[in-house]
Amino acid sequence: MATRRCLTPLRSDAAASRYMSARPAATIARHSRTQPHRNFATPSSNTKSPAHVPPVMISPEYALTPLSPSIGASISSLPLDKPLSSSLISSLRSALLNHNILLFNQREPLTPPQFVSFASQFGQPIEYPFVTGIPNHPEVIEVSKKATDTGSNFGGVWHSDTTYLSDPPMGTLLQALEIPPFGGGDTMFANQYAAYESLSPALKGILDGLKCIQSSAKADTTKTREDRVKDSGKGSGDLEEVHPVVRTHPETGRKALYVNVAHTTRFEGWTEEESRGLLEFLWKMQVRMEFTCRVRWRPGMIAFWDNRCTLHYPLNDYHGYARRMHRITLAGDRPR
């Protein structure tokens, strides 16, 4: 029987002990098999775990817990089936502006009328241009994939919702109704303030003066909704708009990257070939792991995110199981 060769010399117990004690603590933690399980979201960064960040009180009864160092916060036990006080709505809006995403961890899903009522406290719900809403609630669309579906999932690419509109939505609310029983179907989110702020001053100077073409007709995106469009019988034709590459948030005044691989086709005045290299760089860097968090859904959970400074990406890793959500988008303004 052949002797098994070791590629690195074996250490004595004493040497191994010295080696382990000399290793950086972060390295030991990264390879540990006993990392704490996170119920609401899994941060995608190797920086300090949000489990060690204390909750922030937004009222005497309710606290926000950060999801990751870069983006997101969750709130539990907030009753969403009844109107919220004006002071609590104001606090939640401020929290959204600070964290980009809020997760509401409900035990039971809201009914469609309750979902619309909750969303309406933060803005005006609008209809999606390509898919008909559910009966009696045209502003609510069902985002679903059946257990028998083997193709793309709805919106299954990094994007901000409907940036090809003249006034893209300010925010989106997504409620989980049915999720795969063994995991899968998580959603990734990326902070576009952080993406812009990571750029060099020279590149910021170039991008600040550029505009880009946003289109509903990119092939990788249209295939993620073609079955839903065919089933609903609704279609608005191809839509296209020109928006700044770097958007200034109308409420915070901060700058955020406003391109995405789903809808951005080229820079205004440039050909697609001329635009490709810089756009591909931006598409890659704007979703770097340190800018992101990963949300693991549970039935009843609602995510509310700011479309003006956030990208999202629903993972398509649950073939053979169903996933069903309700979505509402809120009216926004023209990017500047």
* Helix/strand/coil (H/E/C) assignment for every residue in 224-245: CCHHHHHHHCCCCCCCEEEEEC
Helix (H, G, I), strand (E, B) or coil at 143: strand
Distance, CA of 254 to CA of 162 (rounded, Å): 21
Q: What's residue 149's pLDDT? A: 85
Q: Is 227 marked active-site? A: no
Q: 93, 161, 263, 326: which one is catalytic?
A: 161
Q: Is 161 marked active-site? A: yes
Q: 93, 99, 159, 323: which one is catalytic?
A: 159
**303 found inside a domain:** yes
Q: What's the CATH code of the domain at 238?
A: 3.60.130.10
Q: Which of 150, 264, 250, 157 is nearest to 207 (CA)?
A: 264
**Domain region containing 272:** 39-330
Q: 228, 247, 308, 312: which one is catalytic?
A: 312
Are 74 and 103 contacting, i.e. CB atoms less than 8 angstroms apart?
yes
The pLDDT profile of the chain, 336 residues, written as one tens digit per residue, is 444 444 433 334 444 444 334 433 333 233 333 333 343 454 444 334 344 456 778 887 899 999 999 999 999 889 999 999 999 999 999 999 999 999 999 889 999 999 999 999 999 999 999 899 999 999 999 999 989 887 767 667 999 999 999 999 999 999 999 999 988 999 999 999 999 999 999 999 999 999 999 999 986 555 544 554 445 555 557 899 999 999 999 999 999 999 999 999 999 999 999 999 999 999 999 999 999 999 999 999 999 999 999 999 999 988 899 999 999 999 999 999
**286 found inside a domain:** yes
Q: Is 326 marked active-site? A: no
**206 found inside a domain:** yes
**27 found inside a domain:** no
The letter for the amino acid at 154 is F
Phi, psi torsion values for 319, nearest 5 degrees = -55, 135
**245 found inside a domain:** yes
Q: Is 327 marked active-site? A: yes
Q: Which of 204, 162, 194, 183 is nearest to 45 (CA)?
A: 194
Q: What's residue 241's pLDDT? A: 98
**21 found inside a domain:** no
**11 found inside a domain:** no
Q: How many domains does the structure of the chain reveal?
A: 1
Q: What's residue 61's pLDDT? A: 83
**242 found inside a domain:** yes
Sign of CA dihedral 28, 33, 39, 40: positive
Q: What's residue 41's pLDDT? A: 55
Helix (H, G, I), strand (E, B) or coil at 129: coil
